[in-house]
Amino acid sequence: MRDQVDVCARLGLLLGVLALAPAAKQPPLAAGAPVSAVPKGKPPPLQPGEAVIPPHPDSTGTSFVAAEGRLLTNRHVVDGCRRMVARNARGTEETARVLASDPQRDLALLSVTPAFGPPLTFRTMPEVKLGETVITFGFPLAGLLSAGPTLTTGAISALSGLRDNQTNFQISAPVQPGNSGGPLFDAQGNVIGIVVAKLNAARVAEMTDGDIPQNVNFAVKGGPLMDFLWEQGVTPRTATSAGPDRGAPAVGDIANPSTAFLQCFH
């Protein structure tokens, strides 16, 4: 199976991997601003090997606690990052270190402190069915939308992804740039996937004389997620989804302490 990154590269007319929010630039001095407004003096010289870290992230994304001290996200979220900073629901920020990445499944495993947040639970049974309710939780369009997390609901639209990719689901839950790496929940609050990409609606409209697809998005299935974790020596929490649906607000309560905002510094 072609990896997600390769699919995006070869099929760019159709699929756009969720773009990450660019860093905001500092505004220039207004015309006529006093000279005193310009900072004086020079910063101390850098020590050998010391890196310059910009005050704002170059891009952002989402991650979630997959095991104690371990965050799971997309590989394309961490690509090219010299430093990753994760912020949890308590507002605590930590440097997150990339432990492993998989370009084929577009997954990455990050290290944080064990107290960063409680691990989420992955669903093992029953198999996900067409039409099931799904819930996303993440940080889309950082700096434009709410500074807090965003929850959306939808359904499993197809049991495979673009070009019949069997490692992905197609989902109707709305997602935006910055949702990459966020957990995909079932109605019981168990993880069944990770948000990875969306269809490039503008490009499709160009190819179909103006027909704009609605909410055609993709998530890596829970099976490949758990396989990746096991390969890295990480044992995820698992459960069977049974009983009545919890409802989106209750799932949001489960997601909030375990979902983290990621900032990438190049």
Q: Catalytic site residues?
A: 76, 106, 180
Give the residue among 166, 175, 172 at the shortest CA–CA distance from 196. Answer: 175
8 A C-beta contact, residue 138 and residue 21 = no
8 A C-beta contact, residue 256 and residue 149 = yes
Give the residue among 54, 26, 48, 22 at the shortest CA–CA distance from 39. Answer: 26
Residue with tokens 């929490």: 237
b/e 133-162 (16+ beta carbons within 10 angstroms → b):
bbbbbbbbbbeeeeeebbbbbbebbeeebb
- Name 5's Cβ contacts closer than 8 Å, sequence gap at least 6: 17, 75, 76, 103, 106
Its sign, for the CA torsion 2, 125, 75, 152, is: positive
8 A C-beta contact, residue 217 and residue 171 = yes
